[in-house]
Homo-oligomer: A and B are copies of this chain.
Amino acid sequence: MAATMKDIARLTGLGLATISSYFNGGNVREKNRVKIEKAIEELHYEVNEVARGLKTNATKTIGVVIPELNNIFCAEIITGMEDILRSHGYATIVCDCRTDKKLEQEAVEFLIRRRVDGIINMPVDETGAHLKRFQKTGKPIVLIDRKIQGISCDSVLVDNKKAAEDAMQLFIEKGHRKIGIIGGPEGIFTAEERLEGYYTALKKAGIPIKNSLVYHGDYTIQGGVRGLEELVRENPDMTAVFVTNYEMTMGAMIGVNELGIQIPEQLSVIGFDNLQFARACRPKLTIVSQPTDRIAREIARIILEHLEKKEERSEEPFMEKLQTEIMEGKSVSILNR
Contact = CB atoms under 8 A, between A and B. Distances in A.
Given A86-B95, A115-B50, A69 B59 contact: no
Q: How many chain copies does the complex carry?
A: 2
Interface string A102-137: 000001011011110000000000000000010011
Interface stretch (A143-151, A164-172, A274-282): A274-282
A221 B82 contact: no
Interface stretch (A33-41, A71-79, A195-203, A307-315): A71-79
Contacts of A328: none
Contacts of A95: 82, 86
Interface string A299-335: 0000000000000000000000000000000000000
Contacts of A79: 68-70, 96
A98 B82 CA distance: 11
Interface stretch (A10-18, A155-163, A176-184, A250-258): A250-258
A8 to B, nearest CB: 15
A153 interface: no
B86 A110 contact: yes
A93 to B, nearest CB: 5
Contacts of A279: 254, 257-258
B83 A221 contact: no
Contact of A114 (B50, B54, B76, B83): B50
Residues of A contacting B: mostly: helix
B96 A280 contact: no
Interface in A52-101: 53-54, 59, 61, 68-70, 72, 75-76, 78-79, 82-83, 86, 91-96, 98
A237 interface: no
A252 to B, nearest CB: 9
B82 A94 contact: yes
Interface of A: 2, 44, 46-51, 53-54, 59, 61, 68-70, 72, 75-76, 78-79, 82-83, 86, 91-96, 98, 107, 109-110, 112-115, 133, 136-137, 221, 250-251, 253-254, 257-258, 276-277, 279-284
24 contacts: A2-B137, A46-B109, A46-B113, A47-B113, A49-B113, A49-B115, A50-B50, A50-B53, A61-B114, A68-B79, A70-B75, A72-B72, A82-B95, A83-B96, A86-B95, A86-B110, A91-B110, A91-B114, A221-B276, A250-B280, A257-B280, A257-B283, A277-B277, A280-B281
